[in-house]
């Protein structure tokens, strides 16, 4: 019997769960701080950054993080705003951690894409965008740093379309930029929101107008900027895309907002519009069909495992996205892969600063579970009828190394360590076919260092890493005989699920192979294989 409790349904409908995607330095941390500030989750700006130096980040191997000044940690933060319960999935910004970021995106129902007005669409944004695209989640764009001079707004929209293949609908439009930045014209509410240099913009200062032709605008921002605004809005009205909620919900049209996160300008407008358009938790695919968040009892999947958040204990935390029903502390749930009941005694919820024990959560929320080594990325936990959520996809690593153990006597610990650490998901493990050599693949090279450090610290094993010239991995699907022939090549390997994968040194090599073997599909990720 399905359990339907109206209170749960109300709670679930309030949930909005999203991840922020951007290239480093575009302003993700700043934006997160401002959003949390609206939720009252932090008292002042700067606290999210502080997290990097807080007590969770002091374990040994995070020395690497400190040395490099980048964030290895990533978590989920939640806050309540205007009767919505919002979960922000924090995605590691540095390129070295993108595999984790990719996975985090599988737990998000929407994405917020932050773009630096001067830099436009950058490399890491492209990669993360592709994953959102594959999942068909809605994507909201915030073009940041309008207080600085940047690219022409039309050029940026054109870039979104040309580079990312997504059409856009500007919800507001900048009036000037850099030292001439006066604010934005809100196309929906037909009003001008005023930017003041040095202002904190805690309350939106605006005046309502009768369209962009309203002379009031000219009086406030000057004739030249007013004329420019009229020309640009009329161009948008005539030649731009129209507002289409259906296309937005499929991630084919992105609503675009302009602002300056550091000055808190445009953040609240963004948040209000985002909440109006972003989806509540929706059914997720499983091996018994879509799982409805409202009518099913508790279920969820592990999308990330993080080790050593607490230096005193070498514990791991598994992050679980709740996909249906209600969760309660102390609940007994089924661990489907292990076919075993487990009790979730000390679940954690993550705030901007701290983690605390959670008593109750609902579909859409993320909880952290202490992991004594029983969880893997992609594991399903549920109550009632057993099922499994879709397998967590793997994405092409960009750096590859052959790994061997220095002391052959430690082979057993080495195997165990490699298996366990690669299960966490930031490093992929491949095996060569005839020789059974181990090849590691990562999205960013720092993960090699982290793995080497942790194998030594946690398993007492020294390893040698030999960098290989490959840059691309493709999962092979198609004619079995051809795949078997390809398996004899040294560049064809198997992933941990025995799926054939071919490694390439360049795009050029990949294209050659695609032309030579038309019966084979070369997949960029293992999604759906």
Contact positions vs ligand GDP (CB under 6 A): 22, 24-30, 93, 144-145, 147-148, 260-263
- Give the Cα-Cα-Cα angle 304, 166, 278 (nearest 5 degrees): 55
Q: How far is the CB of 135 from ligand GDP (least distance, A)?
A: 22
Select 190 or 200, whichever has its Cβ closest to ligand GDP: 200
Residue 145 assigned to a binding site = yes
Residue 147 assigned to a binding site = yes
- End-to-end C-alpha distance for the chain, whole angstroms: 32
Select 28 or 326, whichever has its Cβ closest to ligand GDP: 28
Residue 310 assigned to a binding site = no
Q: How far is the CB of 14 from ligand GDP (least distance, A)?
A: 27
Q: How far is CA 424 from the centre of its chain?
A: 16
Select 70 or 473, whichever has its Cβ closest to ligand GDP: 70
Select 13 or 47, whichever has its Cβ closest to ligand GDP: 47
Contact 309, 317 (CB under 8 A): yes
Taking the C-alpha atoms of residue 182 and residue 431, their distance in angstroms, rounded to an integer, is: 58
Look at the block and give the residue holding tokens 């799982």. 291
Taking the C-alpha atoms of residue 426 and residue 404, their distance in angstroms, rounded to an integer, is: 19
Residue 27 assigned to a binding site = yes
| Rg of the Cα atoms in the chain | 24
Q: How far is the CB of 44 from ligand GDP (least distance, A)?
A: 15
Contact 391, 499 (CB under 8 A): no
Q: How far is the CB of 109 from ligand GDP (least distance, A)?
A: 21
Select 148 or 329, whichever has its Cβ closest to ligand GDP: 148
Select 88 or 472, whichever has its Cβ closest to ligand GDP: 88
Residue 34 assigned to a binding site = no
Residue 488 assigned to a binding site = no
Taking the C-alpha atoms of residue 353 and residue 57, their distance in angstroms, rounded to an integer, is: 11
Q: How far is the CB of 150 from ligand GDP (least distance, A)?
A: 10
Select 113 or 427, whichever has its Cβ closest to ligand GDP: 113
Taking the C-alpha atoms of residue 144 and residue 26, their distance in angstroms, rounded to an integer, is: 7
**What is the helix, strand, coil percentage profile of the chain, to 5?**
30, 30, 40
E-assigned strand segments in 293-418: 299-307, 316-324, 326-328, 332-335, 340-343, 348-350, 355-357, 360-362, 366-371, 380-382, 399-405
Instruction: Provide CB contacts within 8 A for 174, sequence distance 6+.
Output: 146, 153, 181, 183, 184, 258
Residue 516 assigned to a binding site = no
E-assigned strand segments in 177-240: 183-186, 191-194, 206-208
Q: How far is the CB of 48 from ligand GDP (least distance, A)?
A: 9
Select 27 or 425, whichever has its Cβ closest to ligand GDP: 27
Residue 523 assigned to a binding site = no
98-106 vs 123-135: helix crossing angle, rounded to 10: 30
Q: How far is the CB of 114 from ligand GDP (least distance, A)?
A: 7
Q: How far is the CB of 22 from ligand GDP (least distance, A)?
A: 5
Residue 176 assigned to a binding site = no
Residue 26 assigned to a binding site = yes
Known binding positions for GTP: 22-29, 90-94, 144-147
Query: Binding site: residue ranges?
Result: 22-29, 90-94, 144-147
């Amino acid at each position: 019997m399905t359990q339907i409790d109206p209170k749960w349904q109300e709670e679930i409908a309030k949930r909005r769960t999203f991840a922020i995607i951007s290239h480093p330095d575009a302003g993700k941390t700043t934006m997160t701080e401002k959003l949390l500030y609206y939720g009252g989750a932090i008292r002042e700006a700067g606290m999210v950054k502080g997290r990097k130096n807080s007590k969770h980040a002091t374990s040994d191997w995070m020395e690497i993080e400190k040395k490099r000044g980048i964030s290895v940690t990533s978590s989920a933060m939640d806050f309540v705003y205007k009767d919505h319960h919002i979960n922000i999935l924090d995605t590691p910004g540095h390129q070295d951690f993108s595999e984790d970021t990719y996975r985090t995106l599988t737990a998000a129902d929407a994405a917020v894409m932050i773009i630096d007005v001067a830099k436009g669409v950058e490399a890491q944004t492209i990669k993360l965008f592709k994953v959102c695209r594959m999942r068909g989640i809605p994507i909201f764009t915030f073009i940041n740093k309008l207080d600085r001079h940047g690219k022409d707004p039309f050029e940026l929209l054109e870039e979104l379309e040309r580079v990312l293949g997504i059409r856009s609908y500007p919800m507001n439009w900048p009036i000037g930029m850099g030292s001439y930045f006066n604010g934005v014209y809100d196309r929906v509410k037909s009003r001008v929101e005023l930017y003041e240099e040095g202002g904190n913009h805690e309350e939106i200062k605006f005046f309502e107008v009768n369209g962009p032709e309203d002379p009031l605008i000219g009086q406030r921002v000057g004739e030249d900027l007013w004329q420019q605004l009229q020309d640009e809005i009329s161009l948008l009205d005539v030649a731009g895309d129209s507002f289409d909620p259906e296309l937005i919900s499929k991630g084919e049209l992105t609503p675009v907002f302009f602002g300056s996160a550091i000055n808190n300008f445009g953040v609240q407008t963004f948040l209000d519009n985002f909440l109006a358009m972003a989806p509540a938790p929706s059914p997720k695919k499983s091996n018994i069909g879509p799982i409805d968040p409202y009518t099913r009892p508790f279920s969820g999947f592990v999308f990330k495992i993080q080790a050593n958040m607490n230096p005193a204990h070498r514990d791991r935390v598994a992050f679980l996205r709740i996909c249906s029903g209600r969760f309660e502390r102390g609940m007994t749930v089924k661990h489907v892969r292990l076919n075993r009941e487990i009790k979730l005694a000390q679940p954690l919820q993550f705030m901007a600063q701290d983690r605390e024990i959670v008593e109750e959560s609902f579909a859409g929320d993320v909880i952290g579970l202490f992991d004594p080594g029983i969880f893997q990325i992609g594991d399903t936990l549920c109550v009632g009828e057993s099922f499994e959520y879709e397998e967590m996809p793997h994405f092409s690593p960009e750096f590859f190394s052959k790994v061997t153990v220095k002391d052959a006597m430690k082979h057993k610990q080495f195997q165990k360590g490699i298996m366990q650490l690669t299960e966490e998901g930031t490093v992929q493990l491949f095996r060569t076919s005839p020789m059974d050599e181990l090849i590691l693949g990562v999205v960013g090279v720092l993960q090699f260092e982290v793995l080497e450090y942790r194998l030594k610290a946690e398993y007492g094993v020294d390893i040698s890493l030999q960098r290989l010239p490959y840059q691309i991995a493709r999962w092979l699907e198609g004619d079995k005989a051809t795949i078997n022939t390809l398996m004899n090549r040294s560049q064809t390997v198997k992933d941990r699920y025995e799926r054939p994968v071919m490694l390439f040194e360049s795009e050029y090599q990949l294209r050659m192979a695609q032309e030579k073997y038309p019966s084979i599909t070369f997949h960029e990720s293992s999604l759906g294989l």
